[in-house]
Structure 1
């Protein structure tokens, strides 16, 4: 899948490749870290690739958070059983709070899912958005820089 996304990005005119990175980074499980790496590997300047990946991931995360917030406001709490992944996320949320889950949650689930889950657990929508944006920037920067360093080592 990553190769297909990379091929699609490089097939576009250079002026539109950053739009492809925005679209790619909006996909859960690809996110800012995958989008930044794909953009750098496709030959986009690392700063542009990282910025585009962050923008795509943030837009996608905002859609999930605002949707979860709207749904939570309309639906009463139910005592339904949480799935094993949501139980793990809830334990992380109870232990580390919004900052910890935002920064570390991407090791378990995509930012879109973790952010929506935190809002559904009762976290402040604004706190989730703030910390998720910080997390998305950090993860995008780290993987974008690593991809750029890897490309420079291959030359």
Structure 2
């Protein structure tokens, strides 16, 4: 089977070596594309799979970290403005809120059922890590724990897609 990506692969290979992983890292910052999409794209375009995986993880992690820090800070200000009363502490009221989007309700259910580790690892099935990290931090989970478990999820999902993409590209001979 002919490689339909040969032209773009040749173009990417002509770019300076530092630009290639930077492009993958930038792609990893995009919600819904994230590390998984960025690493697959990088490998498909002929970038070394390990370099592509690290770049995709770094880009995804940095954007998730920014989202968590911002939402945590906003939450602190909201709680402080209400005199320290934390209306988000009752997980049941958050889970049953009719204004929550379907993905957020699913995420809150996973958080209640599996705890932060399980919810973080399952979360990419519902929402991007940037949004889930922000949601967890805004819900009152300690930002350090959120960042740790979201980083584990990024590592697992991006690493898994990197392995699958490398195998697929090798199998197809691209």
What TM-score do you get using the length of structure 2 for normalisation? 0.79
Q: After superposing the two structures, state which structure 1 stretch, 116-125 or 7-16, moved more.
A: 7-16
Number of the residue aligned with 1:3:
none
Give the aligned length.
Answer: 149
SS of corresponding position for 2:114: helix
Moved over 4 A (4+): none
1:67-108 Cα offsets, whole Å, 9 max, x none, are: 010000001347874233222211111111110111010000
Change (3 A) 1:122 1:47: same
**2:119 corresponding residue in structure 1:** 101
Q: What are the residue-to-residue correspondences of 1:21-40 with 2, within 5 Å?
A: 21-40=24-43
5+ residue gaps, structure 1, are 1-6
CA RMSD of aligned residues (A): 2.0
The change in CA–CA distance for 1:127 and 1:10 in structure 2 (over 3 A counts) is: same
- Cα shift readout 1:22-72 (whole Å, capped 9, x = no counterpart): 000010001111111111001000000000000000000001000010000
Unaligned ranges ≥5, structure 2 = 1-7, 80-86
1:12 and 1:23 map into 2 onto residues whose CA distance is 19
**Deviation, structure 1 residue 10:** 3.0
